Chain A
Amino acid sequence: MAASDNGQLIREQVVAAFERKMKLRIMSGGTKAFYGRTTYGEPLDMRQHRGIVNYDPTELVLTVRSGTTLTEIETALDAQEQMLPFEPPHFGQQASIGGTIATGLAGPRRPYSSSVRDCVLGCQLINGKGEYLHFGGQVMKNVAGYDVSRLVTGSMGTLGVMLQFSIKVLPKPAGCITLIQKHSAEEALHMMNRIKGNPLPVDASCYHEGNLYIRLSGSIAALESAHNQLGGDLYNEGEQFWHQLREHELAFFTAAKTLWRLSVKPSTPKLALDGQQLIDWGGAQRWLASEEPEQKIRAVVAEAGGHATLFRGGDRTGEIFHPLSPALMVIHQNLKKAFDPGAICNPGAMYANL
């Protein structure tokens, strides 16, 4: 699809919405519309604000408009043997980079490489009054001013309308293999934590239905020597497995009525909660398909020093993200007011009062 700069029109829509106190629901491909709290407002369509603005593979930086599809970006990166370091889930063909950065969702590589915000170097956004703002830049190292580009990453569009990003990209590894080992959950967690403390070329690990899957990436020589160290069988359907895990296409996900994402310290033992669990991110991300009451799930996870997100299903008008302490909530409300004084940008998408 052809590139188009719709920034001016989007800005006019925001200005008009601010003046009329009209709420906006920022949307693009709609592939992650299920995520977060239900928000009501006039749709603000970002799909026509699209295209790669600048990409120089030797600088490892991609500058792109927010309505650009992940598919288009990954095709361009592929041609240069590069990739988005955070391996984002698409959840549909129309997934855009804007939605990816607004939700901050990353895939299996995340604990061994980068989170979404780690890779956001700069952004252009329109605040809730229709003012153009530009933070960060196109360089890896930049400490001028507060790090607003990373603050807005994962903010669910509640701090303004994100127009454009500069993102750090990385070379693709030369090769990739998946190992499979039979373990109990306890052994698998122990193994995942042991791997993390050793200089091995591991870039994903997941425990599911009695199997520990370990993805190795690097040069052929490095893969062989790591395979020898770790043991386990070579798993030939590895690529498909990681894809299905990332896209929530495994039966575990498609069968889940209510899906929770539990983010915990990686060494946390298997959590005592009813339902099915899948352990990803070397132990740091636990997927839970469970009909246990919300309060119980949140309490068990909080006890383990983590937090729980109602990822899919359940009551989308209730609490989706883990409740914040009162002091932190005050800061969040202040920040919301600073960027979006009329509370028109995706109000309530993250918390009811943001």
Chain B
Amino acid sequence: MSKNAVKKALRSFLPRTAILSQEEELRPYECDGLSAYRCLPLLVVLPETIEQVQQVLNTCHKMSVPVVARGAGTGLSGGALPLEDGVLLSLAKFSQILDVDIESCTATVQPGVRNLAISEAVAKHGLYYAPDPSSQIACSIGGNVAENAGGVHCLKYGLTVHNILKLKVVTIDGELLTIGSDALDSPGYDLLALMTGSEGMLGVIVEITVKLLPLPERAQVILAAFDDVGKAGEAVGTIIANGIIPAGLEMMDKPAIQAAESFAHAGYPTDAEAILLCEIDGVNDEVSEQIMQVRALLKQSGATEVRTARDEKERQLFWKGRKSAFPAVGRLSPDYYCMDGTIPRRKLPEVLKRINELSIEYGLSVANVFHAGDGNLHPLILYDANNEGELEKTEELGGKILELCVEVGGTITGEHGVGVEKINQMCVQFQTDELRHFHLIKECFDPSGLLNPGKAVPTLHRCAEFGAMHVHHGEVNFPELERF
């Protein structure tokens, strides 16, 4: 379909300013947070009303033009990477908080509202929205739902899927669906869970009702240093086995500690092999009790140093170090690549050892930050895209790390999504029949396959080709498919 024909059709209901078509206008949309992949879309549209979104989708459906939805574009897996023959549907103008219901502790918001803006808007009522991805200043709630975003407080407060009640979704033929309800459940299948994390493959989210939680009375953080990552990993298990669910439980290895310290001056011990940050929140008396307990447990687990933040300022500083770990690592090298596997926590020492071996094998440094409470590992691979072939080498190393996560019983993505980035590793994690069911699910919503095609779920042929390159345990994956 020619650009002009699509533009003309869209112009029949969209104002001129809501359609971008010149190369310089399209350029800012060529990638999301995974900037290694870039593509200029055919057109960018910026609708302002749900009716316009319905018309855009209906028009694209009729003209067989693929559509990629985009929020703030902070995603790290290329889920919002445009297609050159497709329309990029930006939800940026849907930026209103529509309603805050203090009695029921919910907020109804448009998808372009920033994650942090929700908590800021309801703070005066003593409430907040729990999921806090590290990009929360910039990322939009619509994108959070599409990717089922997490954050550092997931162990206690859950992911996006646990913190939303209702969605309004437009399907590819322009139909507006309400999924979920203002009650705690809805009749029928749990489409709310299905839609959350579906990476823009099933529908376009145009309104979200989120749950709000009361701000905890008190939050306190402990920093513990270890001379061995294995000991730090075991300390995490010990805390949990003693009946304590920390609000946040983060681990960093030596390269990450050193990078974060030189960047944020958080007071981290730079000679430690690993540090743990353990945040306890809740009712004042209980926090005091648990802080004493956790301190004792950390010492028993062999921590070389245990520090409780002296005041709110120091607590914020401890967190600042962790939250700036990515940009801090970014200063060590021209480029870095952030991975997102999840592993059963007990496998951490083994996985870190093997990541280290892979790092040596590929000649690329890796720093590790770890949501230790829920087993979500973010290895950051340092590389220089200007060196020919280094990106490819980095991607190969990243792929190996994800396959390692699957091998130890984990998953290739904990919170960033599959997007274009991990599409090959989906072939490692899932068998043919499972992938076939993913395609069947997509067909239930989008039979013509126009919403974000090529993302999240690989075709079986792609897996056959990938399997031919990666023989796993001496077995060929997808033996029933032809190789070509």
Contact = CB atoms under 8 A, between A and B. Distances in A.
Contacts of B413: 142-144
Nearest to B162: A118
A144 B184 contact: no
Contacts of A265: 104, 182-183
Interface string B183-211: 11111111101101110000000000000
A61 B289 CA distance: 26
Contacts of B162: 114, 118
A264 B183 contact: yes
Contact of A143 (B155, B184, B416): B416
A324 to B, nearest CB: 5
Interface string B230-248: 0000000110110111000
Contacts of B74: none
B342 A139 contact: yes
A134 interface: yes
A10 to B, nearest CB: 16
Interface residues of B, number: 92
A281 to B, nearest CB: 7
A200 B283 contact: yes
B346 interface: yes
- Which of B187, B282, B376, B457 gathers most chain A CB within 10 Å? B187
A147 B103 CA distance: 31
A265 B154 CA distance: 25
Nearest to A224: B285
B154 A222 contact: no
Contacts of B327: none
Contact of B376 (A81, A141, A267): A141
Contact of B430 (A145, A281, A321): A145
A307 B190 contact: no
A193 B104 contact: yes
Given A81-B243, A140-B155, A222-B285, A145 B190 contact: no
B102 interface: yes
Given A115-B184, A171-B245, A197 B102 contact: yes
A321 B157 CA distance: 30
Contacts of B101: 267
Nearest to A283: B104
B343 interface: yes
B283 A218 contact: yes
A328 B286 contact: no
A332 interface: yes
A110 to B, nearest CB: 7
A267 B104 contact: yes
Contacts of B457: 145
A137 interface: yes
A141 B215 contact: no
Given A150-B194, A193-B104, A134 B284 contact: no
Given A131-B433, A140-B374, A199 B283 contact: yes
Interface in A240-285: 263-267, 281, 284-285
Contacts of A154: 185, 189-190
Contacts of B444: 331, 334-335, 338
B148 A322 contact: no
A196 B125 CA distance: 12
Given A143-B416, A221-B285, A226-B283, A338 B437 contact: yes
15 contacts: A56-B344, A80-B241, A104-B185, A118-B161, A134-B430, A139-B344, A140-B373, A141-B159, A144-B430, A150-B161, A171-B244, A198-B214, A221-B288, A225-B283, A328-B191
Interface of A: 56-61, 80-81, 104, 110-111, 114-115, 117-118, 127, 131-135, 137-148, 150-151, 153-155, 159, 170-172, 174, 193, 196-201, 218-219, 221-222, 224-226, 263-267, 281, 284-285, 305-307, 309, 321-325, 327-328, 331-332, 334-335, 338-339, 350-351
